Amino acid sequence: MKIDLIFITYNRIYYTKLALPALLHDLSEEFSLTIWDNASTDGTQEYLSSIEDPRIVRKVFSRDNVHVYGAVKEVFSKSAADLVGIVSNDFLVTPGWTRILAKAHADVPEFGKLSCWHLGPEFFDEERARHKIQKCGQHQVLRHPWTDGCGIVKLKTLKELGFGGIGHGLGGTDFDRRMALRGYVNGFYYPLVYVEHMDYPWSDHYAFTDRFEEALEMSATAKSHGIRTVEDAKAWHQVVVSNILDDPWDIKYYVGWRKKIRNLKKKLRSLCGNKQ
């Protein structure tokens, strides 16, 4: 299956100089790559201009920061590929990852977004996840309504749903939920295909160890969840991991009256825990 990838950058050249070579490392991987820079000012554009690879079909140096949505809509609305995916400049991919996900997509029409595990191998617990690992034909998936991170989706699915809600990781929780509501199977391919998210404070490649406040100003996640310290970041990460490992895979539990009941139960458990 033909694959179109987009590699999106916005400053943070340190990450880009690690992420792009990793993406291009396996010369046997077949995909077409568009490099899109959102008005970086730290030398990123100059670095990207120097990179050559026959799989790079286009380089776009935007004069404005159009964010993920603008880049994805521009590139994938004109794509003729079978599969599409986003790679952020803070992900170190595992060589061969596209082959694994593309084969699964080719074999299973029901797959929506298949993703690599970006939450850290040390945070995965097979015992906890077992109730959500499902067999689909010859493939397995750790099923969850949304994944974020680094993944691949069928272009026809993207066009069927439209570009609304597209965000980090193709395409943000809202887009993934809409896929799940249509009956598509989303999740992390299993056995897990790992990518390293370098922008986690506990990553060996984290670039802001001595500039954490600067990193917070650039993080939408930090702003939306009130993260102000490394401890806050770790606590929120545990919430995300627990949701994926422990909570239901079926989208129906995240909408409507079932969502309200789940949220109420969580509040009651929290209150009971605080009283102990």
Dist. CA 193–CA 189, nearest whole Å: 7
The answer to whether position 126 is within a domain reads: yes
Kindly report the pTM of this predicted structure: 0.92
- Bridge partners of 115? 151, 188
Are the C-beta atoms of residues 153 and 85 closer than 8 Å to each other? yes
The answer to whether position 108 is within a domain reads: yes
The answer to whether position 276 is within a domain reads: no
The answer to whether position 217 is within a domain reads: no
Are the C-beta atoms of residues 205 and 196 closer than 8 Å to each other? yes
Beta strands 83-88 and 3-9: pairing type? parallel
The answer to whether position 46 is within a domain reads: yes
- The reported pLDDT for the residue numbered 270 is 64
Dihedral, 120, 122, 126, 127 alpha carbons, nearest 10: -130
The answer to whether position 236 is within a domain reads: no
Q: How many CB atoms lie within 10 A of CB 84?
A: 25
Are the C-beta atoms of residues 129 and 187 closer than 8 Å to each other? no
Q: Provide the residue range defining the domain that includes 143.
A: 3-198+243-251
- The reported pLDDT for the residue numbered 12 is 93
The answer to whether position 209 is within a domain reads: no
- The reported pLDDT for the residue numbered 212 is 83
> Per residue of the chain (276 residues), what is the pLDDT tens digit?
999 999 999 999 999 999 999 999 999 999 999 999 999 999 999 999 999 999 999 999 999 999 888 999 999 999 999 999 999 999 999 999 999 999 999 999 999 999 999 999 999 999 999 999 999 999 999 999 999 889 999 999 999 998 765 554 444 578 899 999 999 999 999 999 999 999 999 999 999 888 888 777 777 677 778 888 889 999 999 999 999 999 999 999 998 888 888 778 777 766 775 544
- The reported pLDDT for the residue numbered 163 is 76
What backbone phi and psi angles, to 5 degrees, belong to 87?
-120, 115
Tokens of 56: 């790079």
Dist. CA 141–CA 46, nearest whole Å: 39
Residue 130: CB partners within 8 Å, gap ≥ 6?
A: none
CA distances from 103 to 2, 71, 98 (A): 11, 26, 8
Q: How many domains does the chain have?
A: 1
The answer to whether position 222 is within a domain reads: no
CA distances from 215 to 208, 210, 236, 260 (A): 6, 10, 16, 34
- The reported pLDDT for the residue numbered 169 is 44
Dist. CA 189–CA 112, nearest whole Å: 11
Residue 105: CB partners within 8 Å, gap ≥ 6?
A: 1, 82, 83, 111, 114, 152, 154
How does DSSP assign 22-73, residue by residue? HHH--TT---EEEEEEES--SSHHHHHHH---TTEEEEEEESS--HHHHHHH
Q: Is the dihedral of CA 14, 18, 21, 24 positive or negative?
A: negative
User: Tell me, what CATH number does 80's domain have?
Assistant: 3.90.550.10
Q: Which amino acid, residue 264? A: L
